[in-house]
Structure 1
Amino acid sequence: TQLFFLFRFKFLAKYENQINVFSEYLEDLPDTDEPVWILGECYDVKTGKSELLSDVRSRLWFTYRKKFSPIGGTGPSSDTGWGCMLRCGQMILAQALVCRHLGREWRWVAEGTQPVEYQRILHCFLDRKDSCYSIHQMAQMGVGEGKSVGEWYGPNTVAQVLKKLALFDDWNSLAVYVSMDNTVVIEDISKCLGTMLYILHPLDWRPLLLLIPLRMGINDINPVYIQALKECFKMPQSCGVLGGKPNLAYYFIGFVDDELIYLDPHTTQLAVDSETGSTVDDQSYHCQRNPRRMKITSLDPSVALGFFCKSEEDFDSWCNLVQQEILKKRNLRMFELVEKHPSHWPPFITPTKPEVQTTGAGGSAALNLTQTLNLSAGYSVANL
């Protein structure tokens, strides 16, 4: 088993490195009059390049890591070659948590003093079996979605994993809603939040991460969806998009003209060794080179859109923007927004803490997450 993992990781890493060579020429930002949109913020490259780069470098950047404790005790100790979509999932969730605790306007400063909340967020994603959104937790939770540890994930599977893990995260208290069949159902979101939207008091609202898995074409993205995709990045609630190319995942954070801007997880770094509650050396968690870009037409049609609504007002604003920019202006809609749960669908099941079977590389073991995960401290989890 270990030899299989080693061979597979080396082969995929070599393949990915060859592909990335061809994207290097798009790394420098263009000298253009076109606006650059980054997660709901608009920039002029000619007058606001430094502010734009500060924004991009403030996003938490999760990449392949090596030499962490083996997943499941006997599994891989590196996610090189298979964990890129999981890392992108970490990035889209981390963006929601930054907005939740620090605000969209927060900026990271190298060597600067960071807020306590920032350190707690970072601890949630460390490559440790006791971090709530670590590669360990995500890989093992993915077993319940039919994915073996070390298998490549798609956007929808990662969205389902994040939804399940968020149930055990008491500190962030984040509701994660994953849409079905290209349809966002307001009634189901209200159940996900644990109360009905039409009787909500502001104090009852839970911060909400909306994840919308889509397939925008068969083999390539259908050009009819491109403008709608751009409109998503303009929304203040935007948390980015999970996607990429076949078996090559990127975290998309914006666009300029006909190019998407993304953070690339395909760099292998050493795992950061930090004790729970201690300050993390965070230099390797921020991409300090210019953001990479790719043609929108090169995007694989399978994606997952992300939006964060901190308040009920945020959600109402998002619904209005979707109506105006996605639904009313498009003959072929990218997704639907409806009030009531469709009668022909199976009943919506409110997410609860599940009992799942997790399988390590050396065998299988039952894991009752309701008993073993204790997240009251924000980044404290029982050993797996």
Structure 2
Amino acid sequence: MQYIYGTFIDGWYNLRFFLISYFQDSEKRLRQIPNNIYILNHVINDDLAVDQKMEKLKSLFEGTIWFSYRSKILQLQYSTLTSDTGWGCMLRVGQMAMCQQIKYFYNLSSSQELTELIQQFADNDEEELSKFMDRNDGDQTIQYKSPFSIQKIVVQTKLELQKSPGEWYKPNDILFVLKYLFRYSKYQKNLRMHINHENAFILSDVISLMFNKNGGDEEWLKEQIEKGQNDEFGVSIFILTRIGLDTCNQEYLKVLNDIMTYPQFQGILGGFPNKALYILGRVGNYYIYLDPHYVQNAQNYQEMENDRSSYTCQSIQLIDSNQLDPSMAISFCVKNALDLLDLWRRLKQTKSENGESFFMALTETHVYYQLAQSYYCVSDEDDFVTILH
């Protein structure tokens, strides 16, 4: 009976996925919007012929690795579940964001490189799970073939957050767990992961990770660049924020639209209320996203070697910016000091142009950073206000 019920639910999700794609007809809409297209760190100029624009967009969209619901997973720890259908959408969005950061930083493009990357997220990893559960956290030499598997995510989420399989994840939940698991990935050698939970970008925090030192400000960063000390590590940055109460503040959306044009922009963990999406970019007032709400069979490490077609989505979908849930995590990737300095200056420029509408606290050093609690301001627009002293 449970199998029949699960099959019915899986079928319903897949039917709904195709119906949304059919009735939305995103390609027709995209052909009619006379704007540049911004997707991850790419710009597709509007002066291109429509067919050329669509061809470039499809190439970039389909080249972004897609993780979706999976069924027939080995039974998850702490439950009887063998699928993440209905509850794992933010988990999958987090996997997509982590995967994109790695792919971008290391410039992974060959078939072998992409296969090895996707294998880091294999759903069935029975061989490694017992080793993971018996691990010694003090041993920093441990590496797993699939450190970001749903099994390891579930185990670590239960241990650290007391959240069981079947419960919905928030952006901070999945990012917290992925940051922990990242230490067991071969890709952590030259890349560091930074999460700010306080709706802020603190330059010194990122410098600390990049140069493995205690802080620094813009002047210090410029000095290092002049000395030729351009990088030590790259940094994957996630800023958790909220740009409204129940709906997005229109002024904050203008700022978000600007941020999505940055060359360091690597997507947003967001979506509708209780429906997580991985937002890749925008065209006009529409956001382009990958939807994890499609059910496929789980694959183990070896199966991925022979077929990774299920990690490519061909259904481009759009969401009107006014439908977006105001709670989100914005991601960037800086490869070196020059990249970090450029991102910092872009953020400062956006802040100077938008004043109070700039929704992110911005400061150079943690020493002078005193973030009062984030207050909900009851006003005509129901703004979410962050006060920086």
TM superposition score normalised by structure 2: 0.77
Cα distance change, pair 48–345 in 1 and its aligned pair in 2 (3 A): closer
Confirm whether residue 28 of structure 1 aligns to residue 26 of structure 2.
yes
**Alignment-derived partner of residue 260 in structure 1:** 287
One-letter amino acid matched to 2:251:
V
SS in 2 for 1:297: helix
Write the deviation string for residues 55-88 of structure 1: whole angstroms up to 9, x where unpaired: 1100000000111212227542211011100100
Whole-angstrom distance in 2 between the partners of 1:175 and 1:132: 16
**SS of residue in 2 equivalent to 1:330:** helix
Q: Distance in 2 between matches of 1:311 and 1:219?
A: 37
Structure 2 residue aligned with 1:39: 40
Counterpart residue number, 2:382: none
State the distance in 1 between where 2:230 and 2:246 align.
45
Conserved? CA contact 2:17–2:293, under 8 Å: no
Between 168-177 and 243-252, the greater mean CA deviation after superposition: 168-177
Name the structure with the higher helix share. Answer: 2
Tell whether 2:199 aligns with 1:182.
Answer: yes
Shift of 1:13: 8.0
1:7 shift after superposition? 7.0
Q: In the TM superposition, what is the alpha-carbon distance from 1:168 to its structure 2 partner? A: 2.5
Q: Are 2:208 and 1:191 equivalent residues in the alignment? A: yes
Give the SS at the match of 2:329. Answer: strand
Q: Among residues 280, 290, 302, which one is paired with 2:327 in the alignment? A: 302
Which residue number in structure 2 is paired with residue 122 of structure 1? 118
Is the CA contact (8 Å cut-off) linking 2:231 and 2:337 kept in structure 1? no
Deviation at 1:267, TM superposition (A): 0.4
Query: 1:284 is matched with which residue: 294, 310, 322?
Result: 310
Aligned residue type for 1:118? L
Please say if 1:312 is aligned against 2:337.
yes
| Partner AA of 1:123 in structure 2 | Q
Q: Is the 8 A contact 2:90 2:277 kept in 1?
A: yes
Structure 1 gaps of 5+ residues are 107-113, 347-384
Question: Root-mean-square deviation (CA), in Å?
Answer: 2.9
Aligned length: 333
Q: Residue type of the partner of 2:314?
A: Q
CA distance in 1, matches of 2:229, 2:186: 19
CA contact (8 A) 2:192 2:234 kept: yes
Secondary structure in structure 1 of the residue aligned to 2:318 = strand
What is the CA–CA distance in structure 2 between the aligned matches of 1:138 and 1:6, rounded to whole Å?
27
Partner of residue 95, structure 1? 100
Give the partner amino acid of 2:285: D
SS of equivalent residue, structure 2 residue 278:
strand
One-letter amino acid of the structure 2 residue matched with residue 293 of structure 1: L
Task: Say yes or no: does 1:241 pair with 2:283.
Answer: no
Partner deviation per Cα, 1:110-165 (whole Å, 9 max, x = no partner): xxxx3432222111111133411111222222221342222101112222222222
Measured after TM superposition, the shift of residue 16 of structure 1 is: 9.0
- Taking the aligned partners of 1:19 and 1:284, their CA distance within structure 2 comes to 15
Q: 1:73 to 1:120 in 2, by over 3 A?
A: farther
Deviation at 1:343, TM superposition (A): 5.5
The Cα of 1:175 is off from its aligned counterpart by 1.1
Q: Tell me if structure 1 keeps the 8 A contact 2:64–2:312.
A: yes
Q: What do residues 157-215 of structure 1 show as CA deviations (whole Å, max 9, x unaligned)?
A: 22222222222324333311111321121222233443245476747521211001111
- What's the secondary structure of 1:334's corresponding residue? coil
1:169 corresponds to 2:185: yes
CA distance in 2, matches of 1:251, 1:136: 21
* Cα separation, 1, equivalents of 2:229 and 2:7: 48
1:136 aligns with 2:162: no
Contact persistence 1:202–1:311 (CA under 8 A): no
TM (norm. structure 1) is 0.78
Larger radius of gyration: 2
Letter in 2 for 1:211: F
Q: Name the CA shift for 1:273/1:160 in 2 (closer, same or farther; >3 Å).
A: closer
Structure 1 residues 75 and 231 mapped into 2: Cα distance closer, same or farther (>3 Å)? Answer: farther
The answer on whether the counterparts of 1:9 and 1:80 sit within 8 Å (CA) in structure 2 is no
**Identical aligned residues as a percent:** 27
Aligned to 2:86: 81
| Gap regions ≥5 residues in structure 2 | 129-145, 373-389
How far 1:18 moved relative to its partner? Answer: 5.3
* Partner Cα distance (1:99, 1:283) in 2: 20
Q: 1:274 to 1:165 in 2, by over 3 A?
A: closer
Whole-Å Cα distance in 2 between the matches of residues 249 and 300 of structure 1? 9
Name the counterpart of 2:350.
325
Q: Is the 8 A contact 1:23 1:294 kept in 2?
A: no
Residues 1:203 and 1:120: Cα distance change in structure 2 (over 3 Å): farther
Question: Cα–Cα, structure 1 residues 48 and 251, in superposed 2: closer, same or farther, change >3 Å?
Answer: same
